[in-house]
């Protein structure tokens, strides 16, 4: 399937006319007459207030673990132990979460039968092996993304999930922990823009000062982080599956490579891909080119095209001047309006803890989480070099 498609033509068409046809006029986002409203909370935490699960943390190599831990705590998770050997990580984690007991080893946590969940954000290529050990120890696992960096790891994860009946959950935070993305899901479920046809994700990230030692050594090595499509792209593929309600999909074209960092030859700073599912299509662009002048780490944007309207999210910044993030614009049969989503409550933590207790999949569908990994790993494996004029 992959080789039968002219990748360059597909990407160029999706990256120009195909993508631009779904985007609103630049004047729309800043139009002074646009109707404005504030989104309601959308989620009622009251039914989850008394639930509790003991959990632990292993691996703090990426500080996404801070947000992951906080999300589980919001749902009733009781943090009882953590394990790392890095003194700075220990100090930073305790500065945020208090004087949490430091385990003497990973084995101490895995052997504690009172602990039902382990959250982990070690170096990416270590995340799936950790999750496999966690599940074999009789516990559920929540990993930072990318949770899986090779297709061989994915096969072993699926095998262990089937054998243990434990959860291998993945924190795709650019949807699960973004209030505007949550509200967009509510609007789509309500039929606000009709049937979703396509998603377009633009996901720039800031690399920081590469000469100031701001990134750990593993960051520059593809075998450690999996490649840009596997890493950043996993967020966007997950959104494509979720908003189009696709339960099966494949990547028809992808490209990834190093455009502007020759001093780090294993690093990928640009990539994009086109995916087709049984619910719609998706175009995704990821990069490490956020300019220093932008006052946030990346101007993440999502466009969702439906048969009766479209939605644009400016997740973290609005260049037209609105403060903060979580900006949603919608155009439908009734007109055009702006929605401030900052009051929306994030449901993942409470739902995930309930899933652990009830053995349900309301916070995250296990098959979708692993399909996301499969798609980005396949995209990375088959990616051509970027077409740069």
pLDDT value for 306: 98
Report the pLDDT value the prediction gives residue 388, as an integer from 0 to 100.
Answer: 75
pLDDT in tens, 303-322: 999 999 999 999 999 988 89
How sure is the predictor about 34, in pLDDT bands with cuts at 50, 70 and 90? Answer: confident
The whole-angstrom separation of Cα 70 and Cα 72 is 6
Least confident span in 17-31, 127-141, 160-174, 347-361: 17-31
DSSP readout, 303-341? EEEETTEEEEEE-S--TTS--SS-EEEEEETTEEEEEE-
- Residues 13-36 as b/e (b if ≥16 CB within 10 A, e otherwise) read ebbeebbeebebeeeebeeeeeee
User: Taking a C-beta distance cutoff of 8 angstroms, is the pair 43, 347 a contact?
Assistant: yes
- Cα–Cα distance list, 380 to 187, 194, 277, 289 (Å): 32, 32, 18, 19
Across 39-63, average pLDDT = 97
Indicate if the pLDDT at residue 326 is higher than 60.
Answer: yes
Q: In the chain, what percentage of residues exceed pLDDT 70?
A: 90
Q: In this model, does residue 78 exceed pLDDT 80?
A: yes
CA 298 to chain CA centroid, nearest Å: 14
Identify the residue whose tokens are 């995340």: 127
d(CA 304, CA 174): 15
- Cβ-contact 34, 337 below 8 angstroms: yes
CA–CA separation, 272 and 37 (whole Å): 34
**pLDDT above 70: residue 20:** no
Ordered strands of the 281-287 beta sheet? 35-38, 335-340, 327-332, 309-314, 301-306, 196-204, 281-287, 270-277, 249-257
Q: What structural domains does the chain harbor?
A: 7-41+175-348+376-382 (3.30.360.10), 46-171 (3.40.50.720)
Is residue 31 very low, low, confident or very high in pLDDT (cuts 50, 70, 90)? low
Least confident range of 107-111, 124-128, 182-186, 211-215: 211-215
Q: Per-residue pLDDT averaged across 361-375, rounded? A: 98
Nearest to 135 by CA among 98, 164, 97, 103: 164
What is the tens place of the pLDDT at every residue in 229-273? Answer: 999 999 999 999 999 999 999 999 999 999 999 999 999 999 999
Compute and round to an integer the Cα radius of gyration of the chain: 21
Is the backbone peptide bond immediately before 272 cis, with ω within 30 degrees of 0?
no
Tens of pLDDT along 287-305?
Answer: 999 999 999 999 999 999 9
Query: pLDDT (tens digit, 9 = 90+) per residue, 82-106?
Result: 999 999 999 999 999 999 999 999 9
- Please give the DSSP secondary-structure letter assigned to residue 292: T
Residue 209 banded pLDDT, cuts 50, 70, 90: low
Cβ neighbours of 239 (radius 10 Å): 27
Can you read off the two tokens belonging to residue 133? Answer: 């050990």
What integer pLDDT is reported at residue 387 of this predicted model?
A: 78
Compute the distance between CA of residue 279 and CA of residue 241 in angstroms, rounded to an integer: 8
User: What is the structure's pLDDT at 213?
Assistant: 60
* Backbone φ/ψ region at 208: left (φ over 0), alpha (ψ -120 to 50), beta: left
Q: Is the pLDDT of residue 11 over 80?
A: no
């Amino acid at each position: 399937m992959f080789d039968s498609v002219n990748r360059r033509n597909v990407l160029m068409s999706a990256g120009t006319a195909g993508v631009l046809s779904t985007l609103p006029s630049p004047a729309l986002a800043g139009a002074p007459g646009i109707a404005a409203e504030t989104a309601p909370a959308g989620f009622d935490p009251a039914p989850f207030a008394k639930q509790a699960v003991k959990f632990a943390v292993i691996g703090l190599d990426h500080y996404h673990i801070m947000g992951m831990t906080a999300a589980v705590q919001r749902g009733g998770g009781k943090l009882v132990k953590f394990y790392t050997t890095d003194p700075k990580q220990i100090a930073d984690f305790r500065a945020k979460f208090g004087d949490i007991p430091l385990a003497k080893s990973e084995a101490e946590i895995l052997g504690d039968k009172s602990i039902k969940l382990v959250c982990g954000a070690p170096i990416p290529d270590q995340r799936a092996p950790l999750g496999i050990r966690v599940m074999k120890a009789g516990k559920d696992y929540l990993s930072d993304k990318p949770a899986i960096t090779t297709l061989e790891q994915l096969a072993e994860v699926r095998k262990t999930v089937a054998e243990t009946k434990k959860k291998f959950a993945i924190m795709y935070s650019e949807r699960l922990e973004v209030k505007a993305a949550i509200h967009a899901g509510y609007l789509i479920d309500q039929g606000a823009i009709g049937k979703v046809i396509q998603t377009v994700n633009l996901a720039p990230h800031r690399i920081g000062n590469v000469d100031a030692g701001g990134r750990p050594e593993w960051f520059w090595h593809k075998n450690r982080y999996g490649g840009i499509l596997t890493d950043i792209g996993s967020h966007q593929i997950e959104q494509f599956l979720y908003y189009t309600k696709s339960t099966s999909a494949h990547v028809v074209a992808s490209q990834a490579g190093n455009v502007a960092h020759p001093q780090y030859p294993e690093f990928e700073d640009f990539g994009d891909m086109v995916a087709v599912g049984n619910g719609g299509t998706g175009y995704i662009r990821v990069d490490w080119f956020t300019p220093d002048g932008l006052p946030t780490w990346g101007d993440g944007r999502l466009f969702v095209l439906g048969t009766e309207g479209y939605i644009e999210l400016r997740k973290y910044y609005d260049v037209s001047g609105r403060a903060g993030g979580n900006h949603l614009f919608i155009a439908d049969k009734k007109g055009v309006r702006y929605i401030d989503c900052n009051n929306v409550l994030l449901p993942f933590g409470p739902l995930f803890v309930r899933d652990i207790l009830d053995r349900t999949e309301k916070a995250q569908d296990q098959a979708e989480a692993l399909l996301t990994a499969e798609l980005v790993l396949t995209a990375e494996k088959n990616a051509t070099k970027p077409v740069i004029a």
